[in-house]
Amino acid sequence: MAKEKFEDRMNRLSEIVEKLDDENVDLDESIKLYEEGLKLSKELKEQLEGFKEKIDSINKGNEND
């Protein structure tokens, strides 16, 4: 399975937030969306940490030039 793009995960998280703001969403659906949102949030944080490490590595490589 291909790794999802950061932007795709962010878009899905935005969709979840919009749905959770909708008063017409029932409690069961709200809980499922909340769980999915938490999972996405964790994955996004991990991706951001990976991006930071990569950028730090690139910067360190350029310092030696």
Using one digit for the tens of pLDDT, what is the confidence trace for 23-40? 999 999 999 999 999 999
Which residue type occupies 39? K
Domain assignment of residue 18, given as a range? 7-63
Q: Is residue 43 included in any domain, yes or no? A: yes
pLDDT tens figures, 7-21: 999 999 999 999 999
Cα–Cα distance for residue pair 48/42, rounded to 1 Å: 10
Residue in the structure block whose two tokens are 């809980």: 31
User: What stretches of the chain show up as alpha helix (H) in DSSP?
Assistant: 6-21, 27-63
pLDDT digits (tens, 9 = 90+) for 34-61: 999 999 999 999 999 999 999 999 999 8
Query: Per the domain annotation, does 2 fall within a domain?
Result: no
On whether residue 17 sits in a domain, the answer given is: yes
* Number of domains composing the chain: 1
Classify residue 1: in a domain, yes or no: no
Asked, for residue 52, whether it belongs to a domain, the answer is: yes
